Structure 1
Amino acid sequence: MKKSLWTELKREVLFGICFAVLLVFAAVPCQAQQTTVSLNTTELVKGNTVYATINIDNVENLDAGQFDLVFNPDVLKIVSVENGSIGGTEIPVQWSSVDSKTARVIFNLEGVSGVSGSGELAKIGFEVMSDGEGDLRISNGLLGNTEAKRIDTIWGDSKENGKEENGKEENGKEADTKQVATPGFEVELSLIGLTAAVCMARSKQR
């Protein structure tokens, strides 16, 4: 009789432990993977053409976007801008010069119901005209989804020659590179303006 009670007690204790473990796992929310955009470059050698790749990771339902690529015009000159690709879907990009040291890249996935995954937004070719620092960085980034809402994104991480910089400002302080999701009229208006800019750029090319 005592043995039977002892066996039953052990079962109840074991059941209680298993139940507690399940509660712990249930209480921990599953975190969605963060969308990140990073800049990958190669070593700058005078006289060569180098390429800067704009990488994107863990994006969901991407529909449109834009970013500025800032560089040192005394060292680098843009010679080409190539389309990107995410999960086999081409990202058609348009670009224009904002000033001598800034190029603006925009894109809109017409006829596509959003794209998800990881890949490249664009590939920028630069002619290295002289020795010095290229000072390549991304700024003013905006990504929108199929609902015309801003995608929460971390921008500005760069990798060059095996070194990685996590959104540092020139003075060494941490740059505020996280783009907080703020759905609403203001964001939708920005994305509508972005789409209009893409359409205007395409009409000019025609």
Structure 2
Amino acid sequence: MKKKLWKGLERSAFFGICFAALIAAFAAVPVQAQQATVSIDTPEIVEGSTVYATVNIDSVENLDAGQFDLVFNPDVLKIVGVENGSIGEAEVPVQWRSVDNGKVRVIFNLEGVTGVSGSGQLASVGLEVIGGGKGDLRISNGLLGDTEAHSINTDWGVTEASGIGADLRDAEAEDTQKAASGFEAVLTLIGLTTAMYLARSGQR
């Protein structure tokens, strides 16, 4: 009777350890957050006209602040203004300045500490078309942050979105790989423990 009771307790303890190890393994693997997407919608460029391009954002979560550069051909375009955007009912208050000939930097910080989620526009860009040819308006060096000061996983739609943003994305990929390795190690440990338990049970 005591032997059966002991074997039952041993079996319960074994499965309890395996269950706890599985929970720890899943907790160690970070949940992949939904990726936000930023893109530029540029209207037809006609020399001598003033047009507006929009910097659009889709599927962002808990956005609090960010920055990006607008790079363009200064022989064709002149940025005359960058206006606030909006996501849902939340206004995105932007500030901008010229970095050099052909580049403007835009930064924003939403009011409050709650962040905003959804899709909308980060900014509206006023463009004066001063010459003929391609304006080549694009985004570079983009970075978005949430209310906890973490980088938001973002597809900027261009390889130019490097610098700080690229370094952060590389770091996040490395952390994910390390967590996955830890998860595999725990599963291996569970498998070995199971095999040892079954072998011992078969000997009895």
TM-score above 0.5, yes or no: yes
Deviations along 1:104-158, whole A, 9 cap, x unmatched? 0000013241000000000000000111110111000000000001001010x3x
Distance (whole Å) between structure 1 residues aligned to residue 78 and residue 153 of structure 2? 31
Change (3 A) 1:139 1:168: closer
Question: What amino acid is the match of 1:87?
Answer: G
Once residues 131 and 84 of structure 1 are traced to their aligned partners in structure 2, the CA distance between those partners, rounded to angstroms, is 28
Indicate the residue corresponding to 2:39 in structure 1.
Answer: 38
SS at match of 1:180: helix
Alignment pair present for 1:114 and 2:103: no
Letter aligned with residue 112 of structure 2: G
Q: TM-score, normalised by structure 2?
A: 0.63
Native 8 Å contact 2:33 2:153 kept in 1: no
Q: Is residue 57–residue 122 contact of structure 2 (8 Å, CA) maintained in 1? A: yes
Counterpart residue identity of residue 129, structure 2: V
2:169 maps to which residue? 180
Backbone CA RMSD of aligned residues: 2.2
User: Which runs of no fewer than 5 residues in structure 1 stay unpaired?
Assistant: 1-29, 158-166, 170-174, 184-206
Structure-2 residue corresponding to 1:124: 125
Identity %: 68
Query: Is the Cα contact below 8 Å between 1:69 and 1:103 reproduced in 2?
Result: yes
Higher helix share: 2
In the alignment, residue 180 of structure 1 is paired with which amino acid? R
Q: Which amino acid aligns with 2:169?
A: V
Aligned to 1:63: 64
Distance 1:112 1:168 in 2: 31
Q: Offset of 1:31 from its aligned partner?
A: 6.8
| Structure 2, unpaired ranges of 5+ | 1-30, 173-204
1:46-61 equivalent positions in 2, closer than 5 A: 46-61=47-62
Q: Which has the higher strand share?
A: 1
Question: 2:113 touches 2:147 (CA, 8 Å); kept in 1?
Answer: no
Aligned pairs, number: 139
CA distance in 2, matches of 1:181, 1:145: 18
Calculate the TM-score normalised by the size of structure 1: 0.62
Query: Residues of 2 paired with 1:129 and 1:107: CA distance?
Result: 28
Report the residue type matching 1:148 in the other structure.
Answer: A
Contact 1:150 1:181 in 2 (8 A): no
Provide the C-alpha distance between the structure 1 equivalents of 2:32 and 2:95, rounded to a whole number of angstroms: 34
